[in-house]
Amino acid sequence: MKIVDLSKPIRFNKADPWFMKVKIKHKPHRKSKWLLRAMGLPFKLFPKGFNGWADDTIQKMGVHATTHIDAPWHYSPTTNGKKSKTIDEVPLDWCFGDGIVIDMNHKQDFDPITIADIQSFLDENGLDLEPGMIVLIKTGRDKYNGTKDFHKKGTGMSAAATEWLIDKGIKVMGIDSWGWDLPLPYMLKKAKESGNSEYFWEAHLVGREKEYCHMEQLVNLDALPYSGFKVAVFPLKIVGASGAPARVVAMLE
C-alpha cells in the first residue's frame, strides 16, 4: 500500500497573513531534567545518559490555519432548522471512504467551478460519483501555499456545484486552494461592487440548508490518480469547535 500525505506541514511561516499565523515553542530535552529535579527526583537517580524529554507547545494556531476540515457549525449555527454539528459531532464514517479527484487545474483565478465543469470532467474520464465518496477538487493553487498571496489567488466552488455534490450523497469534499469559495478578498470586493447580498461566501452558506463538510488547504493532489484510492480525514476531537486540523491521507493499493 502507498500512502500519500495530503496535509501541509504545521509550522511558523513569516509570509502567512496574521489570521493564518502558527507559533510553536519547541522545548529542548534539558528543560525536563530541571522539572524532574523540582518534582523531587535527585540527579543521582536519573538514568545513565538520560537527557530528559523534548516537549512542544502550540502557542498560536487557529483551527482553520492549516490543512483542516470544517464542520457544519462553521457555516451556520443551524442546518435546515436544526443545530449544526460541531467538529466533535461529525460522524467518523463520513471521514473515510473512496476518493475521487476532480481536476480543475484549467480554471482561471476568480472563475467559479460550476456543475457543468464537474459533469464534463466526469464524462470525459468515464468516472461516476457514488454516495459516501470523498471528493477532492484539484486546482493546482497549493503551489501558492506558504506565500503571502495564497488567500488572494485561485478558483473556488460555486454554490450550485457544492449543492449538486451534496445531492449526489457526498458528505465530505475538499480543495487545494486556501478556501472552498472564490478567494475571500475577491468576494468582498465583488459583493461591494455589485450590491448583491447573496454573493459573499455563497458556497459555504449552502451548509445552512444542506449538511456537509469541506476540507481546505490540501496539498499533493497531483500525486493521486483520479480514482482507485481511499481517503482518511480524521480531525482533532475539539469539543464545540467549528473545524479542526486533520492529517489527510490517501491510500493506494
224-238 per-position pLDDT tens digit: 999 999 999 999 999
> What's the start-to-end Cα distance of the chain, in Å?
5
3-state secondary structure of 174: strand
Domain ranges of the chain: 23-60, 68-252
Helices (H), 157-249: 159-167, 184-194
- Amino acid 149 reads D
Provide the whole-model pTM: 0.94
- Measure the CA–CA gap between 94 and 208, rounded to whole angstroms: 19
Give the model's pLDDT for residue 50. 85
Evaluate whether 68 touches 245 at the Cβ level (below 8 Å).
yes
CATH dotted code for 68-252 = 3.50.30.50
25-48 per-position pLDDT tens digit: 999 998 888 888 888 888 888 888
DSSP 207-225: GGTS--EEEES---GGGS-
160-217 per-position pLDDT tens digit: 999 999 999 999 999 999 999 999 999 999 999 999 988 999 999 999 999 999 999 9
Evaluate whether 207 touches 76 at the Cβ level (below 8 Å).
yes
Count the alpha carbons within 13 Å of 112 in the hemisphere toward its beta carbon.
19
- Measure the CA–CA gap between 21 and 60, rounded to whole angstroms: 7
Q: Kindly list the distances between the CA atom of residue 203 and the CA atoms of 57, 111, 165, 220, in Å, as whole numbers in the listed order.
A: 35, 13, 11, 23
